[in-house]
Structure 1
Amino acid sequence: MLYMDYAATSPLYDEVIDTIAEVMKSHYGNPSSIHRLGVEAEKLLQSAKEVIASAIDVAASEIICTSGGTESNNLAIKGVAYNYQQRGKHLITTQIEHASVKEVFAELEREGFRVTYLPVSKTGRVRLEELQAAICEDTILVSVMYVNNEVGTIQPIQEIGRLLAGYPKIMFHVDAVQGIAKLPLLPKAWGIDLCSASAHKFRGPKGVGFLYRRAGVQLKPLLAGGGQEYGVRSGTENVPLIVGMAKALRMSMDNQATKMTHKYKLSEQLRAGIAAIPELGLTVSDAEQELSPHIVHFAFAGMKAEVVVHALEQKGIFISTRSACTSGESEPSEVMLAMGISRDLASSGLRVSISDEHRMQDIELFFRSLQEVVQELAPMRNPSVIQRGKRR
């Protein structure tokens, strides 16, 4: 079996599994309790936050633990919108955000907020001049993802942070779920006010994540309750998973530069091999420097993406079509459409996502299997789709 769908989720480190089990067994106290077991749990919670904070160079008091990326994104976006709406009701995001961001903005629009959805270039990047042109007197929030979960494009987060430094009333939120531990991330230094992360993307457990909230930023809570997490996120903290998340983040970020170099070498081989197969086309082929090292996206013109996924699955290779949250949908990829790719080809997109534990022999095995699948499926392609070409 060859698993190449790390952008959807990742297997836990063995050490993380052991740590979670030990905390569940021996440190089951409620961290809000005042007795010894509660105090022990509270110490573990605070220690985990210190590890997380150290990894991204922020203060432990700026880390709010959540159930994952979706909750972190909801808390950041709605928390700002509801708390600062007296300043204005204009929000800015992009056309290629994850569903846990996109659907939040759609909901806020229904509640009377005005949202600008920034277009992207053919490589999937936001243009700074278009962001600046969209800012107006009542803008209170800009939300831009770090790495696109589908095609792997890196957004100019640092440049956006510098731009927004001139607009102190605007909050800057970054969905870093696909970027954290894969690329450098320094929220405070980069002018980010709110930053979302999810543990299962960096070999931690599912059902836990965190939100970095810069000191001084006020958020309206989404949950009424006991006031845990500095009064922002009520609910008894899941100490075993939070500790596991901290350990996974620390392990994932050990030797980060070396791991990045290794994954870039693997992704270069992936991209070269895909480009050499005539029936396939890389979604982004002229901006490799703007791509994350762990995601390679391509299309098989005239062939439904899910057919390819299942054909590879029969050979023990596991990849995906797009975000796992939307991979079951039959509609064309909204990300690819926003990049100017035809509707037909946007139904043929495939995502390979790797880890630092993959080796060159894994890439070779993938290619042998992919070439076999392409040869098997090529006669069944829709010729009209091939003729219509890639770009609108």
Structure 2
Amino acid sequence: MKHIYLDNAGTTPMAPAVIDEMSKVMKTTFGNASATNYYGRQARTILDQSRHVIADSINANNDNEIIFTSGGTESDNTAIVGTALARKDEGRHLITTSVEHEAVLKPMHFLEEQGFEVTYLPVDENGQISLADLKHALRDDTILVSIMMGNNEVGAKMPIHEIGAIVADSNAWFHTDAVQAYGLLDIDVQADQIDLLSTSAHKLNGPKMSGFLYRRSERNFEPLLKGGDQELKRRAGTENIPAIAGFTKAIELNPAAVKAEHRERYYGFKQQLTSGLQDNGIEFEVNGKIADGELPHVINIWFKNQKAAVLLTNLDLKGISASAGSACTAGSLEPSHVLTAMFGPNDPRVSESLRFSFGAYTTSEDIADLIQILTEIIKK
């Protein structure tokens, strides 16, 4: 049976060149980057070169604004909790949105238990916040605004440039979860006035358990992980040099021209999928919108009167891997908090919607097969 993978927002397969790079480094560069001996210097060279490639990819002011982490969750937690603890004497108010990833929402809930106040901005039916709501929510004691760059469930892209300008005029720092956007969108932390930015390597054909946190030089706080003096005393723990080398290779495989080609191709897949479903008489609506600027690789579709769990099971039996939302909460019986925020808890979309997400190895033939199999399942 042919298997088709359409859950790239959950994770992506590692690129062969990434696997080769990691294998080479594991064989030849086993030293500790903190050591001053020959083997340590080898590892340090890879670490420094990787930090430079990453800093350049987001237009950071300098390489040392990049902190290597175990992925998006650690980066989000570090940015949010670290900022709150460092600035608690300046204020205890934070702002985020109702559709963030759990790696942002759960640290916010934790801080609420510690006496902080959090404002959760609502979204409209396209998954977008109101800039007027953001301006209204900002206060003198607001110390952090954390708003994702692109939503992992419906693909909505937040107006990051405008948000950055608004936050820059306040006392708050601006953090964005760019886990879904990095590797697909062109990011400029200077132009968008971003203070903190989180990523994860496994979303762009790199290894799991590897990511980075961009932290503007002026934004200082104590590390959450206590131990050694790695990462310029900002994140304790021996750096995973093979994973960092693999992450860097994944970035190098995605220059601006490749990202632009991927965006165009994925947008074409969305058009192919929706047109094919229409041609086959399938009742559906897209949750959010298909538009230039939205995350190109994610489409969330409401299949009317079709339970998502049943559709997913039948698709899986036919060799198609998709999802009903974030992979981090897919095992939960709770409805999608993103769709609930967009449409309300009683809307049938909440339990009748599927997410399809494309990647570097998705083909138009895969989409054609998806249309055919979906049509057979639904009409049966």
Q: Which range, TM-score by smaller chain? A: over 0.9
The percent of aligned pairs where both chains have the same amino acid is 41
1:303, distance to aligned residue in structure 2 (A):
3.0
1:290, distance to aligned residue in structure 2 (A):
5.0
Q: Does 1:368 align with 2:378?
A: no
Amino acid at match of 1:347: S
The counterpart of 2:269, out of the listed 239, 255, 266, is: 266
The answer on whether the counterparts of 2:95 and 2:118 sit within 8 Å (CA) in structure 1 is yes
Residues 1-392 of structure 1: pairs in structure 2 closer than 5 A: 1-58=3-60, 59-167=62-170, 169-255=171-257, 256-275=259-278, 277-285=281-289, 288-341=291-344, 342-376=346-380
1:300, distance to aligned residue in structure 2 (A):
2.2
The 1:225–1:97 alpha-carbon spacing in structure 2 relative to 1, beyond 3 Å, is: same
Whole-angstrom distance in 2 between the partners of 1:134 and 1:252: 37
The answer on whether the counterparts of 1:332 and 1:343 sit within 8 Å (CA) in structure 2 is no
Amino acid at match of 2:215: R
The 1:284–1:275 alpha-carbon spacing in structure 2 relative to 1, beyond 3 Å, is: farther
1:335, distance to aligned residue in structure 2 (A):
0.6
Whole-angstrom distance in 1 between the partners of 2:36 and 2:181: 38
Structure 1 gap segments, 5+ residues each: 377-392
Query: Deviations 1:300-335 (Å, cap 9, x if unpaired)?
Result: 233331221111111111111100001111222111
Query: Deviations 1:339-392 (Å, cap 9, x if unpaired)?
Result: 12434320122100002432222211110111111112xxxxxxxxxxxxxxxx
1:275, distance to aligned residue in structure 2 (A):
4.7
Q: CA RMSD in A?
A: 1.4
The 1:282–1:53 alpha-carbon spacing in structure 2 relative to 1, beyond 3 Å, is: same
Amino acid at match of 1:366: L
SS of residue paired to 2:222: coil
SS of residue paired to 1:252: coil
Whole-angstrom distance in 1 between the partners of 2:67 and 2:190: 15
Query: Deviations 1:189-240 (Å, cap 9, x if unpaired)?
Result: 2100000000000000001100011111112211110121121110000001
- 215-224 vs 106-115, which deviates more? 215-224
The 1:275–1:153 alpha-carbon spacing in structure 2 relative to 1, beyond 3 Å, is: farther
Structure 2 gap segments, 5+ residues each: none
Whole-angstrom distance in 2 between the partners of 1:44 and 1:304: 49
1:254, distance to aligned residue in structure 2 (A):
5.0
Amino acid at match of 2:191: A
Whole-angstrom distance in 1 between the partners of 2:226 and 2:133: 38
The answer on whether the counterparts of 2:186 and 2:256 sit within 8 Å (CA) in structure 1 is no
**Equivalent pairs, count:** 374
Structure-2 residue corresponding to 1:380: none
TM-score normalized by the length of structure 2: 0.95
The answer on whether the counterparts of 1:331 and 1:347 sit within 8 Å (CA) in structure 2 is no
The answer on whether the counterparts of 1:64 and 1:213 sit within 8 Å (CA) in structure 2 is yes
Whole-angstrom distance in 1 between the partners of 2:292 and 2:21: 37
- 193-202 vs 298-307, which deviates more? 298-307
1:252, distance to aligned residue in structure 2 (A):
2.5
The 1:275–1:53 alpha-carbon spacing in structure 2 relative to 1, beyond 3 Å, is: farther
1:12, distance to aligned residue in structure 2 (A):
0.5
